[in-house]
Amino acid sequence: MPGNHHAGLPDEAFFTPGTSSFTEFLAAHRPGLLPTAPALPAGVRAAPGRFPHGTTVLALTYRDGVLIAGDRRATMGNLIAQRDLEKVHPADEHTAVAFAGTVGLALDMVRLYQVELTHFEKVEGVPMTLAAKATRLAAMIRQNLAQAMRGLAVVPLLVGYDLTAPDGGRGRIFAFDPAGGLYEKLHFHAEGSGSPYARGALKKLYRPGLTRREAALAALQALYDAADDDSATGGPDLHRRIFPVVSVITEDGYERLPTPETEELARDMVRQRAARPDGPPATAD
């Protein structure tokens, strides 16, 4: 019926030609639904340890594409808020995003980003380029700067398989800062409080041409090292059967490694650590 409202939006909003950005559509008609809308009154800063915070996520390129992984722990100060948090999500068929930072805002931002990419493709008839996807996510993070300055930062990690890039360079990794700065990373990267330890492990273990299994083991080793030195990062929980999320993106699209495969790799890694607590040495090549 004329005059009906859908989710508070006037009917004409859905039929008026406009931007291919769903974020801009919401900003024009329902800005309060944006995850970057102020969650705290002006001048108020979030008290440390009052909101769940997620770490650690990482990515590395390998022979067939790019791998992205994350631990499962969320913390509130010195408390474990959640043991099985999902920090790695598909954004579309050939793109995935993981996050460190304020969990509630991060999950809303990921969902909005997923809709953003779908909306663009439906309106324009073609998907965004991978570089454009990274730029669009950077703009969304920049809109959250006021929240980040109040202690509610979200720092995503974006990976994708670039079908237009030359062979050997199709797996790509993009990092961001809380102000929306965009940086493409070569070979590997990590974000979150455990990232210095994860990057150190990847620096030791990474080499070009890794197989999927080798890349997954390197990611699990890096997350194990992060958990070993950072209390906010969770390692494999063998008793509860909670393991890191490991996903790959290849020419065939996004795939999350099945839990049995991740469990087998994690248990293999833990057995290796029993014999060598400091982990495998750097490869000779």
Active site residues: 55
The span from the CA of 263 to the CA of 238, in Å, is 8
The span from the CA of 87 to the CA of 36, in Å, is 19
Angle of helix 22-29 relative to helix 130-143, nearest 10 degrees, comes to: 30
The span from the CA of 136 to the CA of 81, in Å, is 30
Residue the block writes with tokens 């959250």: 144
DSSP codes joined into one string, 134-148: HHHHHHHHHHTHHHH
Q: Where are the beta strands (DSSP E) in the chain?
A: 5-6, 9-10, 53-54, 57-62, 65-70, 74-76, 79-82, 88-92, 95-102, 154-161, 171-176, 182-185, 188-191, 245-250, 253-256
